[in-house]
């Protein structure tokens, strides 16, 4: 079995679909493979956001802590999905807890490295923020639906 390069793994991901191959090569230089055990927190709400992740295998629960109710899963992300957009948007703080549900392999991208490349190349910056805007809208909608479900019950 041939081991795939980061560039090949990036090319297969929907988030990077139609991205210029030269950008994928550049992004691979900002990435590293990481592995998380079941139940391990990848990040916590309020943490400084330094990375975003492309999930290769496994799943990650995005959670918020509700006062008096404890942790609530907003959304569970799976293979091919991206999390951690806040590493590119000031004030660079995580908005959720990210917890590995089962063993998760991912590519962790250094936010400072990606941010610098986006500043140097406006086209790349536009492509990244356009893609992340869709993720942010989707997460906001998932959060809204979960909170309506929790607080609408008598």
| Residue 116: CATH number of its domain | 2.60.120.10
Q: pLDDT (tens digit, 9 = 90+) per residue, 81-127? A: 999 888 888 899 998 899 999 999 999 999 999 999 999 999 999 98
Q: Please give the residue range of the domain that contains residue 63.
A: 6-152
Cα gap 90→62, rounded to integer Å: 20
72 within some domain: yes
pTM for the structure as a whole: 0.86
pLDDT at 36: 98
């Amino acid at each position: 079995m041939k081991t795939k390069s980061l560039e090949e793994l990036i090319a297969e991901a929907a988030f990077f679909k139609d991205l210029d191959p030269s950008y994928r090569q550049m992004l691979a230089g900002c990435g590293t493979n990481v592995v998380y055990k079941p139940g391990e927190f990848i990040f916590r709400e309020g943490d400084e956001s330094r990375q975003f992740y492309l999930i290769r295998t496994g799943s990650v629960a995005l959670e918020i802590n509700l006062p008096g109710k404890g942790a609530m899963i907003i959304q569970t992300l799976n293979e091919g999905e991206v999390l951690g957009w806040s590493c590119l948007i000031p004030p660079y703080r995580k908005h959720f807890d990210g917890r590995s549900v089962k063993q998760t392999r991912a590519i962790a991208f250094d936010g400072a490295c990606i941010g610098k490349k986006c500043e140097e190349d406006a086209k790349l910056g536009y492509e990244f923020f356009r893609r992340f805007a869709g993720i942010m809208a989707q997460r906001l909608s998932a959060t809204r639906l979960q909170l309506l479900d929790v607080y609408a019950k008598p």
